[in-house]
Amino acid sequence: DTAVSQTPKYLVTQMGNDKSIKCEQNLGHDTMYWYKQDSKKFLKIMFSYNNKELIINETVPNRFSPKSPDKAHLNLHINSLELGDSAVYFCASSPIGQGSGANVLTFGAGSRLTVL
Amino acid sequence: AQSVTQLDSHVSVSEGTPVLLRCNYSSSYSPSLFWYVQHPNKGLQLLLKYTSAATLVKGINGFEAEFKKSETSFHLTKPSAHMSDAAEYFCVVIGSQGNLIFGKGTKLSVKP
């Protein structure tokens, strides 16, 4: 069974479209995250949710809106897609917030978004 | 602010030879440090973590890392490289908000 699953794995779309990426974890973790990995493999956090509550919201355009219907799901909706949004988006989860240093993230396999 | 610097963007070794991937950190307090590995077209997997316990940390697949406060380093090593070790490796520190801050990655190539 996949611990953190993301769908779709690949997404190709036109500029200006709206798209969503879904993420689900079956680990019983309280905290979920979205990370963006650019073409140079650089990973940066976008959002963090703890029990459906937004904890971290980095400098991300308003076109990106995370939604957490319950603590096992964290979806990412992107409006008016731009070329620069092309990247691999990783969902992750952890048992509690990372501040303790004792907990680690379990990552999904990633969703590769290509905007044409 | 917390940060990590991976000193090499690409490291190439021959199978059976030692691996050294270098990472320096910057932190205003005792850091929590991790190494993650990303195989091609895969997600990230935790190799090992340091959380102020033993300075020599052993991870999966024969990897280990040593925390050296005097050198602000957390280098990743393995005595003998295997072809399956070819991947991207990320050094990571926990930031002040509790988020993971990734280094820019080191691509490890293993030649037969």
Q: What is the spatial distance between Cα A84 and Cα B108, in angstroms, rounded to a whole number?
A: 27
When pLDDT is averaged across residues A70-98 and rounded to a whole number, the result is 90
To the nearest whole Å, the CA of A33 is away from the closest chain B CA by 9
When pLDDT is averaged across residues B13-40 and rounded to a whole number, the result is 93
Q: Do B88 and A4 touch (CB under 8 A)?
A: no
Chain B interface, best mutation among A41, A47, A49, A55, by max B CB count within 10 A = A41
SS3 A25: strand
For every residue of B50-71, DSSP letters joined together read ESSS-SEEE-GGG-EEEEETTT
To the nearest whole Å, the CA of A82 is away from the closest chain B CA by 23
Q: Do B99 and A98 touch (CB under 8 A)?
A: yes
Residues 6+ away with beta carbon under 8 Å from B16: B80, B81
Please tell me the predicted confidence (pLDDT) of residue A98: 52
Asked whether the predicted pLDDT for residue A116 surpasses 80, the reply is yes
Q: Do B43 and A4 touch (CB under 8 A)?
A: yes
Chain A residue with CA closest to B33: the answer is A101
When pLDDT is averaged across residues B52-63 and rounded to a whole number, the result is 90
